[in-house]
Amino acid sequence: MTEPVTVAKKPRPLRKLESRCVDVVRNTHDTVTLHFDTGAQPEYDAGQFISIDPRQFPELSRQIAFLEHLKGKREQHRAYSMSSAPAERYVAITVKAETFDPKHDKYPPLLSPFLASDAMKGRKVAFVGYTGAYTLDDDHGEQTSQVLHLCAGSGIVPNYALLKDELLNRKNPSVKHTMVYVNKTVGDVIFEAELQQMAHDFPERFDLVHCLTRDEPGERGAWWRKGRPTAEWVRSLVKDPTTVQVFACGAAITKHQRHAAEETGIAPTPRFMEGVEEIVHALGVDKARFKSEEFG
């Protein structure tokens, strides 16, 4: 394989797009996928995101006023990775209703619980799109024979879009995708059936491993395991650490946690992405071959 060379994609100008939410599909107890019709075939790259202004929803006006009072600043857009692939007719985002945990968060979530409710179908939604660098290079098939996906929770969303774009459209047939997907319980697994179907349909191109941190896999099969991924175990899945490309998405230490650590002198507990960085470093993967997205 050749050394990675960045091939600059021609950036598309950001636009404010008007859409209608034509379908809401519940994925798990706290996660839904929203499908937006923009009136035309959307143009974006798999793995990118859109931004939604919470101020457009009248139901949130009181919460917004309260939070702006507390923060002393205007509420900003929220970014959501797209779970759809460019060839699909509708733009889709998959939203997990965030919870409030004072250990991680300074303020309660505003938009995600609303989006993940039953209030969206049929509604007009404006968003800004499309952007984000969490994408595969057009020539990545010349750079590697394996892409390793390390995901946790809703971090599956952009990786699911990447997989669909590559496998269903039969792009870069010489590249194999290996996914390690970490969740607390079986009930938290997003796109379980869809991922299993792709693993069945593309056995030569897609290996899927589920890691559960609280549940026991039971009789679910060999590709379910208990525990968090370790560097030694991940190494057994990687053919060549010098050529593999790694895409990782999941929870990381938040700004609130870092500020609290500065005040108390107690280091925050590492979360998924901090563990991923240790694994990638232990494998010796070059920084140019590692892309990551994190959330609080």
Please give the Cα distance from 17 to 136 (Å, whole number).
24
Average pLDDT over residues 189-217: 95
Which band of pLDDT confidence, cut at 50, 70 and 90, is reported for residue 252?
confident
Please tell me which residue, 104 or 3, carries the higher pLDDT value: 104
Residues 290 and 150 in one domain: yes
If you ran DSSP here, which 8-state letter would residue 13 be given?
P
Residue 182 near residue 213, CB atoms below 8 Å: yes
In angstroms, the CA 248 to CA 148 distance is 8
Residue 285 domain-assigned (yes or no): yes
Q: Is the residue at 240 inside a domain?
A: yes
Domain containing 77 equals 15-131
Q: What is the CA radius of gyration of the chain?
A: 19
- Per the structure, the count of domains in the chain is 2
Does residue 41 come out as left (phi exceeding 0), alpha (psi in the -120 to 50 range) or beta? beta
Distance of alpha carbon 224 from alpha carbon 41, whole angstroms: 37
6 lies in a domain?
no
Is 1 domain-assigned? Answer: no
In a domain, 80, yes or no: yes
Q: Which of 131, 152, 176 is the last residue of a domain?
A: 131
The residue out of 110, 131, 152 marking a domain boundary is 131
> Are 161 and 290 contained in the same domain?
yes
- Cβ atoms 264, 110 nearer than 8 A: no
In a domain, 163, yes or no: yes
CATH number of the domain within which 289 lies: 3.40.50.80
pLDDT at 2: 40
Q: Which of 114, 131, 148 is the last residue of a domain?
A: 131
| pLDDT bucket at 72, cuts 50 / 70 / 90 | very high
- The fraction of the chain above a pLDDT of 70, given in percent, is 93
Q: Is the pLDDT of residue 202 over 70?
A: yes
Q: Do 124 and 144 lie in a common domain?
A: no
Q: Indicate whether 144 and 124 sit together in one domain.
A: no
User: In CATH, what number is assigned to the domain containing residue 106?
Assistant: 2.40.30.10
10: in domain: no
User: Long-range CB contacts (< 8 A, 24+ apart) of 75-80?
Assistant: 75/110, 77/51, 77/52, 77/53, 77/128, 78/51, 78/52, 78/54, 78/110, 78/111, 78/112, 79/49, 79/50, 79/51, 80/49, 80/50, 80/51, 80/52, 80/115, 80/157
**Per-residue pLDDT at 4 exceeds 60:** no
192 domain residue, yes or no? yes
- Do 155 and 274 share a domain, yes or no? yes
Same domain, 246 and 107: no
pTM for the model? 0.91
Which tokens in the block code for residue 22? 């034509």
Residue 296 has pLDDT above 70, yes or no: no
From the centroid of its chain, how far is CA 112?
14
Q: Do 38 and 83 lie in a common domain?
A: yes
Same domain flag for 170 and 97? no
Quick one: 205 and 267 in the same domain? yes
